[in-house]
Structure 1
Amino acid sequence: MDVRARFLNFFQSKNHIIYESMPLVPNDPSLLFTNAGMVQFKDIFTGKIPTPVDKKAASAQLCIRAGGKHNDLENVGYTARHHTLFEMLGNFSFGDYFKKEAISYAWEFVTKELGFNKNILYVTVHQNDDEAFEIWSQYVSPDKIKKMGDKDNFWQMGDTGPCGPCSEIFVDQGEEFFHTQEDYFGGDGDRFLEIWNLVFMQYERKADGTLCPLPKPSIDTGMGLERIQALLEGKKNNFDSSIFMPLIEEVSKLTRMPYIHQKGASFRVIADHSRAVAFLLAQGVNFDKEGRGYVLRRILRRAVRHGYLLGMTSPFLYKIVQKVCQQMGTYYPYLFQKESSIMDQCQSEETRFFETIESGMDMFKKELSSLPKDAPFSGEIAFKLYDTYGFPLDLTQDMLKEEGRKLDIKTFEFHMEEQKKRAKASWKGSGDEIKNGDFLEILNEFGENQFNGYEHSSFTSKVIALLNKDYKKITQLKEEGYIVFETTPLYPESGGPIGDKGVLYKDEKKIADILDTKKYFGINISKILPLKTISVGDTLHIIADNERIETIKHHSATHLLHSVLKKVLGEHIAQAGSLVEPNRLRFDFSHPKALSKKELLEIESMVNAIILQNIPATTEYLPIQEARSKGAMALFGEKYGDIVRVVSFADESCELCGGIHVQNTGIIGSFYITKESGVSSGVRRIEAVCGKAGYEYGKNALYVITQAKELLKNQDIFIGISKLKEQIKELKDKYSKNTSDNDLKAFEEIKGTKLIVQKSLSSNIKQLIDIAKNKYEKIAILLVYEEEDKVSIACGVKNATINANEWIKQIAKILEGAGGGREDFATAGGKNTSKIPEAMQTAKDFAIKKIEEFT
C-alpha cells in the first residue's frame, strides 16, 4: 500500500491544499534541520505571515532528527522506531476546522483508508479536554480513551506562543508479543504504539505563563510514515518493513553476512543512515567540520564504523546510498537526477574516513584493554579520537555501550571547550559557526571604525589592522587577507545589498584589489588581494568600484517595490528576504498565492511612475517609536537601536535602513520585473533589474522584437505568430493522422496485447499515444522523441498488464533523466541521446516480460 499517496489523496478530497516537502535545511535560524511537518507552516501559526487564502493544508514532510534539541542519533539501530530521516504525514488547519473535523478525518483515514481494526485502536486526550473526550466517544468506547497530563498531551512551540492540548491515536500490537510491566495503555512499553498526534492549537502562552484563547484555533497533526507502513505489514519493528528491508538486504549482500534481528543493530544503523546521507547530499548539504555539514559527517561515519564492525575495510555505504536513490527516486526525482554526484561525494568521504579508522580503532582497543573492570573510558582519549581520528563522540559512546562501559564525559567536555576557546565561537541559531579570530582584540583596541560611505565613494585613510585568511592579526599582508581602516567609505554587506568592491592606491599607484566588504562585531572589514606588501600604519586611498552606483540603484528600487507591493496586494505584505547586486535585485515577501500578469504589470508600471517623478531621497535620524509612528517599514535582517536612520522618497516610500541610496528616483532608470516565483508556503519572490542592467534588458527585448518582425515579415507580431500557430496545428493534425494510419500499425502482438516501442518524428507524442489507445482495445505503447541534445518519452497503457509509471522509469534512468505519472500514462525526459537504442530495447524487454508474467 502506498500510504503516502493514500494520505495526500484523502486530504485532497477533503479540500486540503497539498504542499511539497520543504527542504531539510529550513529558512529558520532557530532550527538545525526541518524536524516536523509543521515547520513549513510555523510562520503562519505564529502570525509572522498572514493566514493563506486556502486555510487547509496537508503534506508528506521529510524530517531529520540528528542534532540539537531533537537528536535521535544514538538510539537509531537499537530501538524499533528511532530514525535519523523519516517522513511525517500531516494535515493542518489555519483557523478553519477544529477538533470535531480533525478527529473525524483521523478516524476515517485510519479505519477506512488504512483498514485498521477499530477494536485495536485507543486514544489519549488531555486531562482537561472534555470536548475532545466527548467527540472521541462517538467513535471509540470511553474505556479506550485515557486522559493524560501536560507531559504527554499538551504541546507548545516554545516558552511563549501558540500551544494547546493534543490527542494521540494508539494501536494495540497484541498482548502475546509485549508483556512487560509497562505494556499497558498509558505505560512506557511498546505494546500500545502511538501512530498519530493531533494538536489542538487553541491558546497563546504569555510571558507570565498565562494561557489566552486564540481567536482562530488551528490544527497541527503528525503521523510517521515508517511506523504506519510497518504496522500495515504486520511488523513489530519499523526496520522489518518494506521500507528498510531492501537496504538491510543490500548490507547483507555487501558484507556477506546474514541479517539476524537480535544481533543486527549495525545492519539497521547502516540502512537508516544511508537514507539521511542520500537526502542531505541531494539537497546541497556538504560534509564539513561544523554546523549541518558536521552532522552529515557524523551520520556517515557512524554508519561506516558499523560497517567496519561487519568486516568492511573499504568504502561501501555509497552503494547503499545508490539503493536509496533507486528506491525513493520515484517520489523524489532529484535523487535520480543527482544519484551519481551523491555516490561520488559519499565514496570520497568514506575513503578519507577509512584512512584513519584503523589507527583510531587500535587506540580505542588499547585504551579499553588497559582499563580496570569498572573504570570509565578516558575522556582525553575520546577527545583525541574525535580531534585526530574523526570519531564523533556518539560513535565512541556507541562502541562503549557495546562493551558495557561508560565514558568520562566531563574530561571530554573540558578538552572540547578548550579547543572551542582556542579556535571558534558559536554562531547562534543555525548550527553554523564563524571563526572569531582577533576581531574582539581589534574592537577592544580601536573600537568600531568610522563609516563615511553615505557622503563619499572614495577616501584616504589609515590602516589600523591587517588579518590573514584565518582572521589572525598580522603586521604586513602580502597575499589575500583582510584590512581594517580607521575610516572607510566601503559599504559592508548588510541585509540586502552586497558589500562594496574597489581598489586601493598608495602614492598614486594601485596596490590592491578590494574583493568584498563585510561587518563583524561592528567592524567594517574588507577582503583584499594585494599587488604589493601592505603594512599596518600605511595611509591608502580607497576607491569604491563603479558597480557601487548600480547596487545603490537596485537598493532604492527595492524600497520602491516594497512600497508598491503593499499598495497593490495589501498591507499584509512583509519582506521575507532580499538580495541586491549591481545587475539585479531579488525580493521575497509574504503573500498566499502567485501574482497574476495583470498584478505584475501594475506593480512594474507604478514603480516606473515613481522613478519618473525624480523624487529626492531624504534621510532622518529619529527615535525608533517616532519612526514607526511615521509609518517607516522595517527591512528584513536589519537590527535597530533607539535612534534609527529613516530613508524616504516623499510619500511613496519610508523605511528604516542603514544602506546607501540614490539622491533622487530618476537616477534608478527603467525598472523591469524579470521573474515571479514561489519560495515556500506563503512566500513569493520577485526578481527585477534597473539602471544599466535595466537598459540592457530593454535593449535585448527590443532586439528580439525587431528580429521577430523581420522573420515574420509582418509588423504586427501577434498576427504573425497566430498565423504560424495555425499552420503548425494544421501540419500536426495532418502528420498525426498519417502517423496513426501508418507508423502506429508497426506493432508486435504479445498474448493478445499490441506492443509499440518506437521513435517518433513528431514531438506531439502524447497525442499519438491517445490516438493509438483509442484505436486498439488492448495496447502498450512507448514513444521516444529526440530533439538536439535531449529526449522526450511518453508511454500509455490500455487493458494491458503493465504499469506505465514503472515502465517509463526503466528507460528514463538509462537516458540520465527522470519522470513518472499514472498507471495508464507517464512521461519523462532524458539527456543522453546516445543511449536511446539501449533504452528502447530495455523498454521492449520490460514490457514483454510483464505481459508474459501475467499470462
Structure 2
Amino acid sequence: EEGEIILDRTPFYAESGGQVGDAGIMDTEEAHVWVLDTKKPVHGFHVHRAEIKRGKVGKGERVTCSVDEEKRRATMKNHTATHLLQKALKIVLGEHVRQAGSWVTPERLRFDFTHFYALQNDEIKRTEDIVNEKIIGNLPVRTDVMSIEEAMKTDAVALFDEKYGEPVRVVSVGGFSRELCGGTHCRATGEIGLIVIVSEGSVASGVRRIEALTGNGALVYLRQKAYELDSIKELLKTETPLQKTEKLLSAMKALEKEVQKLRTGTSTDVIAEALKEAKDLNGVKVITTRKDGLNPKELRLMADNIRDRIQSGIIIASSAIDSQAAIVCMLTKDLKGRYHAGEIVRRLSALAGGKGGGRPDMAQGGIKEVKKLDSVLDKVYDIIKTTRGEG
C-alpha cells in the first residue's frame, strides 16, 4: 500500500534547489515502511511518499527513521561537484556564466548555464581537469548560516531569479567556491572521487547543458569506455585504433566514389560503352543509354558526363526506378538552335502518357508506364528527325 506520511520533524531531505529528495526506511512498533521520495510542497512542510510493507501507520505514533545512506552520499558527491563545476566554467569560459538550472541525483548531475556557443573539446577537458584538481586537493567543505546581506559581502554566488528568506546558508569549498545553497554536501572534495563530463549540448537559446558522473558512476563509465576501446582494438587487430579507423574511412570513401561512378554511369568504362552505341543522324551524333535505378539527379549527372566527353551530339539518358521512368535530354552547345531538348523530351514522354520539357540544351521528363520505356527509346531517332530548334 502506498501513501503519504507527514512527521513533526524529519531527517529526510525534501526535493528542492535541484536536488532530489531522500529515500529510506521508517519503522513503528507495528509497521515497516519504505520511504520512496520526499517532497516539500510548501516551505517547512515535508511529505514522504511511502510504501507500507508491513502493518499500519497511525497518527501520533513514534517513528524511527533511517535515511538511505548510499543514495544520500552519492547525491552529496554530485551536488558538491556541481558547485565545483560552476566555478570551473567561470574560469574557462568567463564570468558571464550563470546557473540556469540543475538536477542532482545519486546517479548523475545535470547543470544548465548561460553561454552562447557549443563548448570545444579542449574547453570541456580544461573544465573537467580543474574540477578533478580540486577533488584531488581534498578541499574542506564548510556551511555557514548568515543574513543575505552578509552573504553578499562574501561574494557568494546566488541564483539570479531565486527569492531567499532570512537567514541563508552559504556553502564554501575551500577558497575556490562559495554559493548560497540549502542542499546536502560532502565534508571534503576528496569524497567525490572523480568527475567525468559525459555530454554537453544546447537546451535553449543562450543556455548550455552539461551532464556528468562522479564517484563510482564515473568509474563504471570509464571502465565501460576502456572495455569498448579494447574490443575495437581486437576487432581491428591493432594497437592504434584511431589511425586504423582513419585509414579504413579513407578507403571506404574512395570505394564509395567508385560505386557512385558505376551507379551513375560516370566511370570511364560505362561512358566508353555508351559512346560505342552512338549513331549518326544526318551528321549529328546521337547517344541513347538506359541505366535503371537512378534518381533524376543521378540521371542528369550521367548525361552531363557523357556530354562532356563528346564534341558534338545529342544525349538521351533514361532510367526506370520503382514504378516510374525518367528521361533526360542534353545537347552540346553547337546544336542549340538546330534542336530543342525540351521539345524532344516533351514528345518522347507523351508517347507513354508522361510529361516533360525544359531548356533548349537540357530537359527532363517522366513516364508512369515503365513497360513502355523501351518502345519510347526506339522512337528517339524519329522524334529527333522531326524536331527543330524553334521548339
TM-score by length of 1: 0.33
2:44 corresponds to 1:520: no
Q: Which amino acid aligns with 1:490?
A: F
The corresponding residue for 1:543 is 66
Q: Matches of 1:798 and 1:695 in 2, distance apart?
A: 63
User: Deviations for 1:108-145, whole angstroms, at most 9, x for unmatched residues?
Assistant: xxxxxxxxxxxxxxxxxxxxxxxxxxxxxxxxxxxxxx
Measure how far apart 1:698 and its partner are. Answer: 0.7
Q: Matches of 2:35 and 2:52 in 1, distance apart?
A: 9
Measure how far apart 1:506 and its partner are. Answer: 3.0
Instruction: Decide whether aligned partners of structure 1 residues 714 and 634 sit closer, same or farther in structure 2, where only a CA change above 3 A counts.
Output: same
Q: Matches of 2:115 and 2:15 in 1, distance apart?
A: 27
2:127 corresponds to 1:598: no
User: Deviations for 1:745-775, whole angstroms, at most 9, x for unmatched residues?
Assistant: 9xxxxxx999987499xxxxx9x68954753
Measure how far apart 1:626 and its partner are. Answer: 1.7
User: Deviations for 1:621-678, whole angstroms, at most 9, x for unmatched residues?
Assistant: 1221221121111147754123210001112111000000011111112211111111
Instruction: Decide whether aligned partners of structure 1 residues 519 and 637 sit closer, same or farther in structure 2, where only a CA change above 3 A counts.
Output: farther
Instruction: Decide whether aligned partners of structure 1 residues 733 and 575 sit closer, same or farther in structure 2, where only a CA change above 3 A counts.
Output: same
The corresponding residue for 1:505 is 27
Instruction: Decide whether aligned partners of structure 1 residues 656 and 737 sit closer, same or farther in structure 2, where only a CA change above 3 A counts.
Output: same
The corresponding residue for 1:490 is 12
Q: Which amino acid aligns with 1:513?
A: W
Instruction: List gaps (5 residues or longer) in structure 1.
Output: 1-478, 746-751, 761-765, 785-796, 802-842, 848-854
Q: Which amino acid aligns with 2:61?
A: D
1:730 to 240, 254, 260: 254
TM-score by length of 2: 0.69
The corresponding residue for 2:283 is none
Q: Matches of 2:37 and 2:319 in 1, distance apart?
A: 57
Measure how far apart 1:580 and its partner are. Answer: 1.1
Measure how far apart 1:730 and its partner are. Answer: 3.4
Instruction: Decide whether aligned partners of structure 1 residues 601 and 755 sit closer, same or farther in structure 2, where only a CA change above 3 A counts.
Output: farther
Q: Matches of 2:329 and 2:173 in 1, distance apart?
A: 64
Measure how far apart 1:734 and its partner are. Answer: 3.2
Counting only pairs closer than 5 Å after superposition, residues 253-652 of structure 1 correspond to structure 2 as: 479-507=1-29, 511-522=32-43, 523-531=45-53, 532-545=55-68, 546-635=70-159, 638-652=162-176
2:225 corresponds to 1:701: yes
% identity of equivalent residues:
38
Q: Which amino acid aligns with 1:505?
A: D
Q: Which moved more, 1:773-782 or 1:599-608?
A: 773-782
Larger Cα-atom Rg: 2
1:720 to 244, 253, 267: 244
Counting only pairs closer than 5 Å after superposition, residues 170-181 of structure 1 correspond to structure 2 as: none
Q: Which amino acid aligns with 1:584?
A: R
The answer to whether the 8 Å contact 2:31/2:52 transfers is no
Measure how far apart 1:483 and its partner are. Answer: 0.8
The answer to whether the 8 Å contact 1:577/1:636 transfers is no
Q: Which amino acid aligns with 1:653?
A: S
Q: Matches of 1:726 and 1:623 in 2, distance apart?
A: 63
User: Deviations for 1:249-287, whole angstroms, at most 9, x for unmatched residues?
Assistant: xxxxxxxxxxxxxxxxxxxxxxxxxxxxxxxxxxxxxxx
Instruction: List gaps (5 residues or longer) in structure 2.
Output: 272-286, 308-315, 323-327, 331-340, 343-365, 371-390
Q: Which amino acid aligns with 2:16?
A: S
Measure how far apart 1:740 and its partner are. Answer: 3.1
Q: Which amino acid aligns with 2:66?
A: I
SS in 2 for 1:488: coil
Counting only pairs closer than 5 Å after superposition, residues 659-674 of structure 1 correspond to structure 2 as: 659-674=183-198
Count, aligned residues: 305
SS in 2 for 1:490: coil
The answer to whether the 8 Å contact 1:575/1:587 transfers is yes
The answer to whether the 8 Å contact 1:503/1:510 transfers is no
The corresponding residue for 1:775 is 305
The answer to whether the 8 Å contact 1:572/1:590 transfers is yes
Instruction: Decide whether aligned partners of structure 1 residues 737 and 498 sit closer, same or farther in structure 2, where only a CA change above 3 A counts.
Output: same
Q: Which amino acid aligns with 1:516?
A: D
Q: Which amino acid aligns with 2:183?
A: G
Q: Which amino acid aligns with 2:147?
A: P
